[in-house]
């Protein structure tokens, strides 16, 4: 179980997160929304352990989030085309942390022929699936999907979620779905939280 | 759909490029080594002055003709190419090494960035050739004067490119992902940073090489470079101005062609190296 207790963070005097608390239980699909600038991606980085909060704690199974990477919480960033090295082949991207899991590749319809290609040779939807697949490590228990289908058309987005949610459920992984799309969150999530917009000056 | 199909195949893609790289590398090594080897087999004093063989056009005895002092131009050209290749290579290596160290240093350290910025403004703000002359003079002239004159003044453009590229890659999302996936900084430097910087380094190196040879000609012309009794492409080409006026075209043509072949083969090699470093490019 992942929990955040009164997490606060400010950048250069500007408060971005103020006493945010949440819990995610295994296998749960949690929706996270909030207006632009409310700190959704910052919260994702704090929860995944790549950014330390100024105050409050992030707990994994009741104790502090492990310091080593890759940890139990993975943050799938927005804009897959920026999140992959354009000089790497798809095969190398997929095998960055560990050899790719054939079950994940099959579920996300990633074709072996792509292994030799470069990111520029894939479509947006294909690249989004490749970027996503690398975070399915044996250690990953919570996957934070940060607007991962925002730049896809409706059909490609639907295909991705229809592949991703059963795969996560099957592996007992929890999902945190960050999205501006209220209909999508309603369809996917069992519970939703909203981050309030922050006042400009702290 | 197995692991092997995803991890082994990307390696196979590089092999045709690697082969092309090796082929062209061998060609360039041959083109570069030939004048040096031929020059080594020639007598050390260089071709003798001979009043009976002045200004002869190309023939079987003198395939490149002779100059106004009756010296065999084939022997002079090869000796000159050997000097010019050495000057160009040393100057390009020195300048590229400085650009890599100062550019990466500036990207990593704020104080060094400030210092390198000032040095860059100075080097780019002063008239370029004046600076080359000053350094060459201070270094005592001769071949090493040219090497230091060109090498110490030609790093700023490349170092600025490398500084910018390094900062861009370091801030990229894909580097954050690799870090989150547990990759240490040195691994990221080797697998993300180096592949992005290498093409720029190669391009900078390849551009400086012919440039250095031209500076050698300029410096030698005004007496700060290679002394006139030593053959160099710069010395020969500046002397040949008078010979061409008199219709003795061979004095300029063959050494000029030799320089062109060396410079072009070097560029071809650089282009292959750049493509090998950028897997998005197809094989030539």
Taking residues B232-249, report their average pLDDT: 85
**CB nearest A87 (choices: B5, B12, B278):** B278
Judging by beta carbons within 10 Å of its beta carbon (0-12, 13-18, 19+), is residue A170 exposed, middle or buried?
Answer: exposed
pLDDT in tens, B142-167: 889 999 999 999 999 999 999 999 99
Q: List own/partner pairs for B227-234 with CB under 8 A and 24 or more apart.
A: B227/B141, B227/B142, B229/B46, B230/B46, B230/B83, B231/B46, B231/B76, B231/B77, B231/B79, B231/B80, B231/B83, B232/B80, B232/B83, B232/B84, B232/B87, B233/B80, B233/B81, B233/B83, B233/B84, B233/B258, B233/B259, B234/B84
- B13 contacts: CB under 8 Å, gap ≥ 6: A89, A116, B279
pLDDT at B238: 80
Chain A residue with the nearest C-alpha to that of B9: A116
Distance CA A175, CA A192 (A): 12
C-beta atoms of A95 and B279 within 8 A: no
ipTM, two decimals: 0.88
**CB nearest A97 (choices: B9, B182, B195):** B182
Rg (CA), chain A: 17
Residues in chain A within 8 Å Cβ distance of B280: 86-87, 118, 120
**Coil/strand/helix, residue A27:** coil
Cα A28 → chain centroid: 14
For residue B23 the two structure tokens come to 């082929």
Of A110-124, A136-150, B36-50, B193-207, the range with the lowest mean pLDDT is B36-50
Question: Which one of A141-155, B197-211, B214-228, B236-250 scores highest in mean pLDDT?
Answer: A141-155
Place of tokens 């929990």: A3
Q: Is the pLDDT confidence value at B4 over 90? A: no
Distance CA B12, CA B22 (A): 16
Of A198-202, B28-32, B233-237, B278-282, the range with the lowest mean pLDDT is A198-202
Taking residues B91-116, report their average pLDDT: 93
Question: Cβ atoms within 10 A of the Cβ of B189, count?
Answer: 16
pLDDT at B159: 94
A46 vs B241, higher pLDDT? A46
Which phi and psi (to 5°) does residue A150 adopt?
-60, -35
pLDDT at B223: 81
Stated pTM of the model: 0.77
- B4 contacts: CB under 8 Å, gap ≥ 6: none
Distance CA B89, CA B81 (A): 12
Taking residues B33-50, report their average pLDDT: 66
User: Where residue A73 sits, what CATH number does that domain have?
Assistant: 3.40.50.300
Is residue A73, in this structure, part of any structural domain at all?
yes
**CB nearest B1 (choices: A50, A79, A102):** A102
Is residue A200, in this structure, part of any structural domain at all?
no
For residue B61 the two structure tokens come to 């005895």
Distance CA B113, CA B153 (A): 18
Place of tokens 């007496």: B223
Is residue A175, in this structure, part of any structural domain at all?
yes
pLDDT at B8: 40
Domain count, chain A: 1
pLDDT in tens, A62-102: 888 887 788 899 999 988 999 999 989 999 999 988 899 99
B24 pLDDT band, cuts 50/70/90, is confident
Of A124-138, B23-37, B215-229, the range with the lowest mean pLDDT is B23-37
Q: In 3D, which of B19, B23, B35 has the Cα closest to residue B255?
A: B35
pLDDT at B11: 44
Interface of A with B (CB under 8 A): 48, 50, 68-70, 74-75, 77, 79, 82-87, 89-92, 94-97, 99-100, 102, 105-106, 111-112, 115-116, 118, 120, 134, 137
Q: List own/partner pairs for B190-195 with CB under 8 A and 24 or more apart.
A: B191/A85, B192/A85, B193/B166, B193/B169, B195/A85, B195/A87, B195/B277, B195/B278
Q: What is the mean pLDDT of chain B?
A: 82
Min Cα–Cα distance to chain B from A64, Å:
17
CA angle, B272 then B278 then B280, to 5°? 115
Looking at domain B14-43+65-277, which CATH architecture does it have? Orthogonal Bundle (1.10)
Q: Is the pLDDT confidence value at A201 over 80? A: no
Residues in chain B within 8 Å Cβ distance of A96: 177-178, 181, 183
Distance CA B203, CA B267 (A): 9
pLDDT in tens, A82-91: 999 998 999 9
Q: Is the pLDDT confidence value at B282 over 60? A: no
Is residue A202, in this structure, part of any structural domain at all?
no
B280 pLDDT band, cuts 50/70/90, is low
Across A125-140, b (16+ Cβ under 10 Å) vs e yields bbbbbbbbbbbbbeeb
Distance CA A124, CA A22 (A): 32
Residue A24's domain spans which residues?
2-194
pLDDT at A122: 92
Residues in chain A within 8 Å Cβ distance of B183: 96-97
Biggest alpha carbon distance in chain B? 80
Is residue A119, in this structure, part of any structural domain at all?
yes
What is the residue-wise DSSP string for A119-148?
GGGS-HHHHHHHHHHTT--TT--EEEEEST
pLDDT at B210: 77
Biggest alpha carbon distance in chain A? 52
Distance CA A195, CA B209 (A): 58
B7 pLDDT band, cuts 50/70/90, is very low
pLDDT at A63: 87
B39 pLDDT band, cuts 50/70/90, is low
Which phi and psi (to 5°) does residue A98 adopt?
-160, 160
Distance CA B204, CA B93 (A): 10
Of A8-22, A35-49, B1-15, B218-232, the range with the lowest mean pLDDT is B1-15
Residues in chain B within 8 Å Cβ distance of A79: 173
Is residue A118, in this structure, part of any structural domain at all?
yes
Is residue A141, in this structure, part of any structural domain at all?
yes
C-beta atoms of B179 and A100 within 8 A: no
């Amino acid at each position: 179980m992942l929990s955040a207790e009164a997490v606060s963070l400010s950048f250069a005097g500007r408060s971005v997160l103020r006493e945010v608390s949440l819990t995610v239980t295994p296998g749960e699909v949690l929706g996270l929304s909030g207006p632009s600038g409310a700190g959704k991606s910052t919260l994702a980085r704090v929860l995944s352990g790549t950014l330390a909060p100024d105050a409050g704690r992030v707990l994994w199974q009741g104790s502090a989030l492990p310091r080593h990477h890759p940890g139990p919480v993975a943050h799938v960033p927005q804009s897959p085309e920026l999140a992959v090295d354009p000089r790497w082949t798809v095969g190398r991207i997929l095998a960055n942390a560990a050899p790719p899991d054939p079950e994940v590749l099959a579920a996300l319809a990633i074709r072996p022929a792509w292994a030799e290609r470069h990111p520029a040779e894939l479509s947006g939807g294909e690249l989004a699936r490749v970027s996503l697949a690398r975070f399915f490590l044996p250690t990953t228990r919570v996957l934070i999907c940060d607007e991962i289908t925002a730049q896809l058309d409706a059909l490609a987005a639907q295909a991705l979620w229809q592949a991703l949610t059963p795969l996560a459920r099957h592996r007992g992984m929890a999902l945190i779905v960050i999205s501006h799309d209220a209909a999508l969150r309603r369809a996917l999530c069992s519970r939703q939280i909203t981050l309030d917009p922050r006042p400009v000056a702290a | 759909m197995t692991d092997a199909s995803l991890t082994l195949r990307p390696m196979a893609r590089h092999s045709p490029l690697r082969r092309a790289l090796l082929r062209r590398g061998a060609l360039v090594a041959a083109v570069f080594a030939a004048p040096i080897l031929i020059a080594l087999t020639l007598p050390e004093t260089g071709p003798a002055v001979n009043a009976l063989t002045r200004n002869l056009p190309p023939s079987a005895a003198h395939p490149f003709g002779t100059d106004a002092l009756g010296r065999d131009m084939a022997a002079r050209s090869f000796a000159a190419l050997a000097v010019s290749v050495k000057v160009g290579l040393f100057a390009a290596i020195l300048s590229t090494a400085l650009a890599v160290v100062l550019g990466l240093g500036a990207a990593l350290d704020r104080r060094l960035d400030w210092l390198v910025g000032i040095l860059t403004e100075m080097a780019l703000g002063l008239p370029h050739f004046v600076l080359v002359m000053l350094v060459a003079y201070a270094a005592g002239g001769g071949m090493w004067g040219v090497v230091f004159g060109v090498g110490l003044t030609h790093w700023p453009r490349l170092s600025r490119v490398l500084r910018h590229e390094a900062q861009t890659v370091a801030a990229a999302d894909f580097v954050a992902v690799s870090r989150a996936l547990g990759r240490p900084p040195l691994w990221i430097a080797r697998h993300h940073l180096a592949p992005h910087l290498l093409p720029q380094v190669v391009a900078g190196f390849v551009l400086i090489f012919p440039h250095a040879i031209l500076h050698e000609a300029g410096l030698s012309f005004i007496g700060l470079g290679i002394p006139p009794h030593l053959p160099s492409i710069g010395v020969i080409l500046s002397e040949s101005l008078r010979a061409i006026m008199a219709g003795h075209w061979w004095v300029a043509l063959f050494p000029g062609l030799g320089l062109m072949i060396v410079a072009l083969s070097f560029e071809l090699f650089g282009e292959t190296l750049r493509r090998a470093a950028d897997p998005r490019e197809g094989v030539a």
